[in-house]
Structure 1
Amino acid sequence: MTRAPTAGVRTVSRFIPLTRQAVIASLCKVAERDDTADDFSRLVHLLQRHRSVGYRRLAEEIRSVYLPFNPDRDTLQILPIDAAQKSEREGRLAQLIDHLLERANFSTLTDERLSATLSAQSPYSLRIEVDLKEYDLLQVHIRDPYTRSRTVRRPETGYLLKATYEETIYRRLFMMLKLKSNEDRAREVAAERGISLKAASRHVAKRRRQLPPDTATDLIYVKVFKDMPEHDLQILFPLRIVQFRPFDKMKFFATAGGGTLFGMFSTTGKVLAATNPFAAVGALVGFITLLARQVTTFFNQRTRYMMELAQKLFFHNLANNRAAITLLLDRAEEEDVKEDLITLYFNAGLSVEERSLGARKRAIEEIIVARCGVAVDFELPDALARLEADGVVRREGEVVVFPTLAEAAARYKVLIASDERDEARHLCTAGEEVDAMEA
């Protein structure tokens, strides 16, 4: 098996940076040497079918709950949903997404760390302000962070000197957010600043004027990004204030201010000294042209910043809204299957005392490093919880009893038969709650 590609120094995380197919192929080779290939193949087939049923049901529930909040929906809502039901669905959606992200081995970016990141100075000297109070719902999760060295020429030194720094990169970044309504935000601004509600409403409307016209405060936006630098988190928020770099401010005011003042004094002298009215008009036209050039320079600078932000959003964006949820579902199922198969194979037929589970976890991690060259924080307790729920692994007092591969395959064969009966009943009961049809 080849080593997983890495960029920079990878931080040890719960994510297993190997595909499901790679894990299965590696275990199949070991099973062939152990003469358990047939039993393992049956187990792989049956376990994957069982997990697929569970995730299909989870996908149906998440998509149903997310439907009223989906900005990209192309269906008509038939059944009315009142405010209380919508609030209940929003809470349920947050719970399901948290569960899904945990299964996909994402970690929560805490409010403290998020605030510290947003307030930190960008290494590019790009100043972006983000107000987290604008959001009614905000979740940021990361997976598989790594660090790399970056060398740039700083504008503060006239691009003559180089600066090297370590930057943290999130291989995957998840965001879910919902804007506060204009009315609620206006009331907060009025209370914070001690101004009238009318003035606060004008402030909120001006601040949100930069949003696309189809942006709504009752919708929930879901995004997944790849290889996103930590210091670029600010650009992902829809409400952000972009300010010039200090060096660019100095350069602009030096050139624009100096040029404009020189042009103004020069033009004034020419107009006063001119005896020909056409010469005076020509001097004024020249001054207006100079002023227009300085204003154009200002807007060109801002356009350059917008292009820089747009390029990052374009090349780092993986999926949006429902597509992002589908991507997470696929990744979560992938992680569960990998963890379950690894746990069952390397503990097949063993009876392990509770206090020895930590040693088994470390042994599995060492095997993964030796065979694949990647270090992981293997989630043995997570896999055990699922396998116990399936009735595959059982506890006898302080001892955890693992089945043989053949016993595990037999148990999943029983579960699949039960899944098929439940699926038939599920299709009939789900039809009673249909609330949408194709537009």
Structure 2
Amino acid sequence: MCTVYKKPSTSAVARLGLSPASCRHRTEASGPQTPANVEEEISSSREKFIPVSRHSLVRFLMQKKFFLNDGECKKFESFAIALDSAIVNKYHDVWRETKVLFDPINPDKETTATEAVMRKERLDNEFWLLQKLAAVMEKANFHELSKPLVQQSLGKHLSREGVIVSVDLDRYDVLHLWTLGKDTPPLRYPWYKQLRDTILRVPPPKPMSFYKRVVVAIRLKHDSKLTLKAFKEVPTNALEYLLPDGLLQMSVTNKAVVTVAMTLASFGALSKVVTMLAGVDAPWTLVLTLAAGSVAAASWTSFKNQCCKYMVEHSRTLYFNNLASNRGLLTLLVDRAEDEMFKQALLAYTFLLASRSPQTMALDSSDQKVQDIGSIPAETLKDRVERWLKAQTGAQVDFDTDESLKLLTEFGLLSGDPESFLHVLPLDTAMRNLPHAPQSIITRAKECDIIEGYDQYVYAGTEEDYAKEAEARRKYGWF
């Protein structure tokens, strides 16, 4: 769910090098879906995340037989370092730009403002930051949950603790959820419980699924700051743990028990009063009142205990599963995008390099010809990489061939037609073609002075400022 923005200023458009048409296309492409598509999204979504570290991937590729000859094995690590450096340099401007955009809307900003920022400018920054963030998340192989799926996940549902949970999405101006990886660990089911359920013909419980990583971008209504947070190991049916605002309600069964019990207790109390006024001794009315009142009190106590259990789990998730927040999260996400792009590009290059004849492979890298290296279409490359990743990691990965080939072409390492034959440069030539343009110390110093430096005026929040902020936050919460 995203707020509807006014048209961003032309200065912001020019600064980012984006066009409103491209942003409008992205918004329309992720528009409303039918409920049928929600189930399809849940069941058929394939992860693009490559579940192996960069160092392990380089080692796996160097140990794979018939991929590299002896001379290439000695140079492959240097090639991987050069490729990683080129990708880091490519994304450094993206990282710096996201920090500049986030600065005016950072809820954790500790420095004083040097200029007044109007609401329209904050909305401009927020809009373009979310556009940039969506692009970075796509490169990092995160999957954004669609609006119907978010509505379904945050609608009224029964939690594990037995309490009904719901989130009012109308209280949020901005709400985006990105997920990475999905795991369903095997359920530990003791034999005596299996025997009991078999005798009672009770279906066995289903194992719980978890998102390995979840990134949240939220802004509550009447709030001027955007909040970014990342969490790990979040249950797929408990995304409301990550939000600051929601509602806890009794289940239908508990409501019915409390209503019936209170009705009987009221009837018993009224009957007792009537019999006392009439001078008739009817002890059953007192028994009925006490029994019904005890049932109602027990049901209400059970509901309060369920609420306490839920809030304890909610607090544990926010404390133990939080990975990063706000500005620190931007660095983490850009770093994740760099990792994923590196792994995709290295896999594509290595598999194309390995697609050569034994005679060509036996030659020195400087004697090899480009036309003899590769000679496979993109679909074949995708199939080979996915099968190799399945054998190495056990994960069914949807390898993004388009992004990897685009990056290799941009670095001048790839040629050919993706639908027919692709060719890559030999290893020595590829290393020479990779750009080497590290950031200078002067550039980094200027950036730190602008973004991270402290002004000479120290910001001192007064007690009144903190009281206003606390009062504004008090209207939100789980209750």
Please give the TM-score of this superposition, normalised by the length of structure 1.
0.71
Per-residue Cα deviation, 1:292-323 (whole angstroms, up to 9, x for no partner): x8899375554343223323433433222223
**Aligned to 1:437, which of 449, 454, 477?**
454
Q: Percent identity?
A: 22
Which residue in the other structure is 1:24 paired with?
58
Match of 1:406 in 2: 428
Deviation digits for residues 114-170 of structure 1, max 9, x if unmatched? 2222236336343122122222222111121234576999xxx9xx96652354421
After TM superposition, give the deviation of residue 427 of structure 1 in Å. Answer: 5.1
- In the TM superposition, 1:32-181 aligns within 5 A as 34-119=70-155, 121-122=157-158, 124=160, 125-147=162-184, 163-165=204-206, 167-181=208-222
Matched residue count: 371
User: Any conservation in 1 of the 2:163–2:306 contact (CA below 8 Å)?
Assistant: no
Report Cα offsets for 1:354-392 as digits up to 9, x if no partner: 8x2101110122222233433311112111111212222
Match of 2:349 among 344, 349, 366: 344
Q: Report deviation, 1:63.
A: 1.4
Q: Are the structure 2 counterparts of residues 341 and 435 from structure 1 closer, same or farther at C-alpha, using a change threshold of 3 Å?
A: closer
The SS at the match of 1:81 is coil
Higher relative contact order (CA 8 A, sep 6+): 1
Q: CA deviation at 1:219?
A: 0.8
Deviations along 1:280-301, one digit per CA (max 9) or x if unpaired, are: xxxxxx9xxx9xx889937555
Secondary structure of the residue that 2:52 maps to in structure 1?
Answer: coil
Matched, 1:236 2:257: no
Q: Letter of the aligned partner of 1:70 in structure 2?
A: N
Which amino acid is the alignment partner of residue 132 of structure 1?
Answer: L
Contact map agreement 2:159 2:238 (CA 8 A) in 1: no
Q: CA deviation at 1:20?
A: 0.9
| CA distance 1:299–1:26, shift in 2 (3 Å) | closer
Residue 232 of structure 2 aligns to a residue whose secondary structure is: strand
3-state SS of 1:378 partner: coil
Counterpart position of 2:405: 384
Greater share of strand: 1
Deviation per CA, 1:314-343, whole angstroms, max 9, x where unpaired? 343322222322322222111111111111
* 1:361 matched residue in structure 2: 382
The alpha carbon displacement at 1:265 in A equals 7.6
Contact 1:343 1:380 in 2 (8 A): yes
Structure 1: segments with no counterpart, 5+ residues: 1-8, 182-216, 274-285
Instruction: Kindly report which structure 2 residues correspond to 1:309-320, keeping only aligned pairs within 5 A, or say none.
Output: 309-320=314-325
- Contact kept? 1:139, 1:175, Cα under 8 Å: yes
Find the aligned partners of 2:203 and 2:163 in 1 and give their Cα distance.
17
The CA deviation at 1:242 is 0.9
Change (3 A) 1:10 1:168: farther
CA contact (8 A) 1:39 1:409 kept: no
Aligned CA RMSD, in angstroms, stands at: 3.9
Residues 389-420 of structure 1 show CA distances to partners (whole Å, capped at 9, x for unaligned) of: 222223479653311121111112xx11xx14
Alignment check: 8 A CA contact 1:149 1:165 kept? no
Quote the Cα distance in structure 1 between the aligned partners of 2:278 and 2:226. Answer: 63
Question: Match of 2:205, SS?
Answer: strand
Map Cα deviations across residues 5-37 of structure 1 (whole Å, 9 max, x no partner).
Answer: xxxx99741111111111011122236754411
Structure 2: state its 5+ residue gaps: 1-42, 280-289, 354-369, 459-479
Q: 2:332 aligns with which of 294, 305, 327?
A: 327
The change in CA–CA distance for 1:428 and 1:393 in structure 2 (over 3 A counts) is farther
Instruction: Please say if residues 175 and 223 of structure 1, whose CA atoms lie closer than 8 Å, have aligned partners that are also in contact.
Output: yes
What is the TM-score when the length of structure 2 is the normalising length?
0.66
Give, in whole Å, the separation in 1 of the partners of 2:246 and 2:261.
Answer: 27
